[in-house]
């Protein structure tokens, strides 16, 4: 029997706002526990929610880049359930009039392109975080009230590969538009997978389970493989009866397990939140948001491969990461040649940190200093080798390249008179090498070149040294 796996995704991603969805507390990740908490997001009575305009604009932006329809009048609803990380006993979310509907995202896999439909995108509050230690459970409400969007796809996925391609695409378009920084490890992007299995060719869906708690792309792939096999085994051997339920993925053990019994099936008792008036989203507002969106990853790829002549391979690396893309923009804006910038980013900057689990979005470097460094190379004030060493110092110790070059006397030696003197010395000190060269062994010029560079402590302009050396040898 052949089987087909059918999956739909619910992706939660934190919006890149400065403050929370309904109060003015900082939405920043990290910090001391319960540092960014006020009476409103701690669930004290007597506080009224105030919708964050920026969060709504980022919701509109998410709709624009996913080809969605933006709802003309949105409203917020209460979703009621008890859990210690939920300070008010209800989550403010959108059930009846979500901000976006009917969008799609195009993905590429080895099997070609596919279009993934989106049912809706809605805005909601994040919950706090429980920290368990021994017999204690502690709650940190810093995250409580941070704005999220939940992107709900149609059941359009047929393989783990498609799921990964979709998540990478979402991360790319959302981070480029500045909607979210989409960091899975920090929990700012989370994904639930709804999965069912049916006989290939059937148009009836099988029993669906929802899996939560996958914290990386790898974990998602493993969870999908495990859960598909569990369903197939159940169908083939009847070893267990599948029920519609929520399951938790345990990545250490590599298994999923049931989260709650059917008796406790949640009834969230949604109803419109009377504390928040409906909000109109005019066409003008949508147009204004659209006009502020930065260049998309796709447009950027087309532009830098077309106009700037960057290779598709390099352009792919640059546009896969918002961070690299921003670095590229900042350096080229300073007048540095795009091809040189790409080469410095792809071959030098990316080799600075090869630690595991570091993504290109984790790279952190002062772009002004990076630009100063490349300008020094561009103006031939230092040579490339010196520059590589300084790049590492900027990356790791944030030194100032201009000061550093001056203090350590690393300026490139390109004074012709001085270099001619050095070349003469080298020739006089290495008569046997000179003889070999004259006898036709031209490789020896490399050895002589090295000797000359060493005499300048590596600071000479290699092109100038080579020219003077070859001229001198030619005159012999």
Partner 1 sequence: MRFMACSNIMVKDEISSAGSKMLYNFKAPFGADVYDRCIGKGMEFAGLIETDEFGIDSLFEQNTDAAITAMLENRCDFVLCNDLFGKLQRQAPGHGLVYINPAYGAVSRQGLIPAVSSMDRIGVLCRNIDDGCRVISAISDGVSDFAKEIPDKATEYKDISQLKYTDIIPYVFYILASAEISGNTARYDGVKFGFRAENAQNLNEMYLKSRTEGFDRDTQLAIITGCMVLSKDNYNKLYHKAMQIRRLIAEHYTRLLDECGFLALSPSVTGKNNLERSVFCLLSSLCGFPSISMKHGDSERLFVYKG
Chain contacts with partner 1 (rule: CB under 8 A): 39, 42-48, 78, 80, 82, 84, 87-90, 139, 267, 269-271, 273-275
Angle of helix 160-176 relative to helix 53-65, nearest 10 degrees, comes to 130
The smaller minimum CB distance to partner 1, of residues 80 and 436, is found at: 80
Residue 24, both tokens = 């003015």
Beta-carbon contacts of residue 308 (< 8 Å; ≥ 6 apart): 338, 339
Q: What is residue 345's DSSP assignment? A: I
Nearest approach, Cβ of residue 86 and partner 1 (Å): 9
Distances, alpha carbon 167 to alpha carbons 153, 170, 196, 218, 359, in Å: 11, 5, 19, 12, 15
The smaller minimum CB distance to partner 1, of residues 53 and 269, is found at: 269
Nearest approach, Cβ of residue 88 and partner 1 (Å): 5
Nearest approach, Cβ of residue 21 and partner 1 (Å): 17
Query: Strand, coil or helix: what is 203?
Result: coil
| DSSP per residue, 370-396 | HHHHHHHHHTTSS-HHHHHHHHHHHHH
The smaller minimum CB distance to partner 1, of residues 24 and 185, is found at: 24
Nearest approach, Cβ of residue 133 and partner 1 (Å): 16
The smaller minimum CB distance to partner 1, of residues 28 and 275, is found at: 275
The smaller minimum CB distance to partner 1, of residues 279 and 472, is found at: 279
Nearest approach, Cβ of residue 56 and partner 1 (Å): 21
Listed residue (331, 339, 338, 397) closest to 368, CA to CA: 331
| Burial classification of residue 74, based on how many CB atoms lie within 10 Å of its CB (0-12 exposed, 13-18 middle, 19 or more buried) | buried
The smaller minimum CB distance to partner 1, of residues 82 and 307, is found at: 82
Cβ(401)–Cβ(365) under 8 Å? no
Nearest approach, Cβ of residue 101 and partner 1 (Å): 21
Nearest approach, Cβ of residue 96 and partner 1 (Å): 10
Cβ(319)–Cβ(312) under 8 Å? no
Nearest approach, Cβ of residue 39 and partner 1 (Å): 5
Nearest approach, Cβ of residue 209 and partner 1 (Å): 20
**Rg of the chain, C-alpha, whole Å:** 30
Cross-strand pairs, 45: none
Nearest approach, Cβ of residue 126 and partner 1 (Å): 17
Beta-carbon contacts of residue 5 (< 8 Å; ≥ 6 apart): 157, 158, 159, 195, 196, 197, 224, 228, 231
Nearest approach, Cβ of residue 121 and partner 1 (Å): 24
List alpha helices for 307-353, DSSP H: 312-320, 322-333, 338-343
| DSSP per residue, 141-154 | -TTTT-EEEEEEE-
The smaller minimum CB distance to partner 1, of residues 261 and 356, is found at: 261
Residue 238, both tokens = 């009847």
The smaller minimum CB distance to partner 1, of residues 80 and 215, is found at: 80
The smaller minimum CB distance to partner 1, of residues 139 and 302, is found at: 139
The smaller minimum CB distance to partner 1, of residues 139 and 472, is found at: 139
Beta-carbon contacts of residue 138 (< 8 Å; ≥ 6 apart): 33, 130, 131, 132
The smaller minimum CB distance to partner 1, of residues 68 and 93, is found at: 93
Residue 334, both tokens = 């300073």
Beta-carbon contacts of residue 249 (< 8 Å; ≥ 6 apart): 211, 212, 213, 214, 219, 223, 226, 255, 256
- CA-CA distance, 8 to 123, in Å (whole number)? 19
Nearest approach, Cβ of residue 271 and partner 1 (Å): 6
The smaller minimum CB distance to partner 1, of residues 39 and 316, is found at: 39
- CA-CA distance, 138 to 33, in Å (whole number)? 10
Beta strands 245-250 and 209-214 are parallel
């Amino acid at each position: 029997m052949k089987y087909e796996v059918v999956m739909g995704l619910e992706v939660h991603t934190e919006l890149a706002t400065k403050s929370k969805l309904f109060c003015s507390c900082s939405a920043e990740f990290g910090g001391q526990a319960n540092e960014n908490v006020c009476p409103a997001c701690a669930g004290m009575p007597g506080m009224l929610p105030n919708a964050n305009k920026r969060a709504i604009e980022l919701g509109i932006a998410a709709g624009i880049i996913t080809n969605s329809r933006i709802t003309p009048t949105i409203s917020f609803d209460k979703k009621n359930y008890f859990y210690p990380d939920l300070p008010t006993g209800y989550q403010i979310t959108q059930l009846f009039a979500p901000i976006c509907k009917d969008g799609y995202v195009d993905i590429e896999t080895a099997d070609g392109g596919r279009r993934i439909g989106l049912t809706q995108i809605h805005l909601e509050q994040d919950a706090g975080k429980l920290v368990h230690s021994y017999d204690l459970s502690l709650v940190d409400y810093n995250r409580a009230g941070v704005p999220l969007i939940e992107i709900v796809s149609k059941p359009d996925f047929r393989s783990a590969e498609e799921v990964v391609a979709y998540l990478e695409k979402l991360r790319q378009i959302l981070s480029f538009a500045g909607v979210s920084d989409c960091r899975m490890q920090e929990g700012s992007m989370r994904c639930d997978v709804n999965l069912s299995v049916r006989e290939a060719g059937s148009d009836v869906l099988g029993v669906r389970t929802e899996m939560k708690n996958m914290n990386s792309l790898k974990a998602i792939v493993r969870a999908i493989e495990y859960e598909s096999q569990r369903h197939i085994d159940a169908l083939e051997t009847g070893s267990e009866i599948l029920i519609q339920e929520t399951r938790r993925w345990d990545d250490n053990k590599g298994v999923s397990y049931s989260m709650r019994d059917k008796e406790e099936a949640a009834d969230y008792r949604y109803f419109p939140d009377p504390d928040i008036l409906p909000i109109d989203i005019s066409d003008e507002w949508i147009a204004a948001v659209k006009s502020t969106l930065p260049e998309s990853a796709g447009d950027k790829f087309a532009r830098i491969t077309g106009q700037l002549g960057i290779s598709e391979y390099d352009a792919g690396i640059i546009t896969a990461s918002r961070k690299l893309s921003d670095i590229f923009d900042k350096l080229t804006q300073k007048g540095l040649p795009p091809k040189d910038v790409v080469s410095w980013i792809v071959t030098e900057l990316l080799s600075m940190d090869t630690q595991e689990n570091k993504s290109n979005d984790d790279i952190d470097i002062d772009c002004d200093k990076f630009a100063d460094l490349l300008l020094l190379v561009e103006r031939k004030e230092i040579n490339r080798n010196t520059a590589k060493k300084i790049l590492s110092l900027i990356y790791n110790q944030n030194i100032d390249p201009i000061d550093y070059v001056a203090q350590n006397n690393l300026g490139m030696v390109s004074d012709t008179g001085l270099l001619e003197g050095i070349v003469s010395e080298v020739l006089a000190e290495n008569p046997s090498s000179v003889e070999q060269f004259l006898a036709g062994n031209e490789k020896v010029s490399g050895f002589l070149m090295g000797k000359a560079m060493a005499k300048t402590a590596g600071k000479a302009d290699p092109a100038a040294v080579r020219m003077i050396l070859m001229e001198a040898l030619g005159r012999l």
